[in-house]
A and B are shown apart, each in its own frame.
Chain A
Amino acid sequence: AQKITQTQPGMFVQEKEAVTLDCTYDTSDPSYGLFWYKQPSSGEMIFLIYQGSYDQQNATEGRYSLNFQKARKSANLVISASQLGDSAMYFCAMRVPFLDGGSQGNLIFGKGTKLSVKP
């Protein structure tokens, strides 16, 4: 079964420190994509970073990096130099093809991790 697991319901981090949000996934498809989204209290879903299953290097986007360990099926998000504005829910998601075999696919979401940045 295709599944995303985020085991940390909530986390605290001190401002300016780095934090790692855990994500493990399960799929038998060889081709998949892994995403992280941020949902602040205002409710919108903000795309942060993407990692393809065939990508050799870990993805980075500014202060965000994705620690992709394919053998362990993990895709942890690392936020460096945390800021107060990073306080939000963070969702890990996996995109796998639909059953029709199309290149498009649905996003399967984890339950999220609520990150709180302390001043």
Chain B
Amino acid sequence: DAGVIQSPRHEVTEMGQEVTLRCKPISGHNSLFWYRQTMMRGLELLIYFNNNVPIDDSGMPEDRFSAKMPNASFSTLKIQPSEPRDSAVYFCASSFTGNTIYFGEGSWLTVV
């Protein structure tokens, strides 16, 4: 079975550019999470969707970050404009009601 699929795996971009990270959750899962991992702050939840609806976006750092889930099989996390402090690993994860949360392999973002 396919796991959570994220793209791109690695991205290097210049400050000020728009970055779009993509995620395909595991088929049948109804919850989707975006996490960010940095050395300083560890793993932090950015936003959580349940049945394609954003439930908690309190972790989104600022207006430069936005996330969408137009259907059950696709989500995007967009950063516009990007800044060097956004450099991190961004994980997408999914689960089915109350069950284990499975992570994708992460998108490694470097903003120079």
Identify the A interface with B (CB < 8 A). Answer: 33, 35, 37, 43-47, 50, 91, 95, 98-100, 102-104, 106-107, 109-112
B105 interfacial contact with A, CB 8 Å: yes
B12 interfacial contact with A, CB 8 Å: no
Total A-B residue contacts, Cβ distance less than 8 Å: 55
Cross-chain contact B56 with A109 (CB below 8 angstroms): no
CB distance from A96 to the nearest CB of B (A): 12
B75 interfacial contact with A, CB 8 Å: no
In this complex, the interface size class of chain B, counting residues with CB under 8 Å from chain A, is 20 to 34
A44, A95, A98, A99, most chain B CB atoms within 10 A:
A44
- Provide the residues of chain A in CB contact with B33, threshold 8 Å: 106-107
Interface SS, B side: strand
Chain B positions 33-50 with a Cβ under 8 Å from a chain A Cβ: 33, 35, 42-43, 45, 48, 50
Given contacts A44-B106, A98-B48, contact A107 B42 (CB under 8 A): no
Q: How far is the CA of A33 from the CA of B55 in the complex (A)?
A: 20
- Provide the residues of chain B in CB contact with A106, threshold 8 Å: 33, 45, 48, 56
Closest residue of B by beta carbon distance from A111: B42
Identify the B interface with A (CB < 8 A). Answer: 31, 33, 35, 42-43, 45, 48, 50, 55-56, 89, 91, 93, 95, 97-98, 100-106, 108
Q: How far is the CA of A12 from the CA of B56 in the complex (A)?
A: 38
Q: How far is the CA of A43 from the CA of B103 in the complex (A)?
A: 11
Cross-chain contact A107 with B101 (CB below 8 angstroms): yes
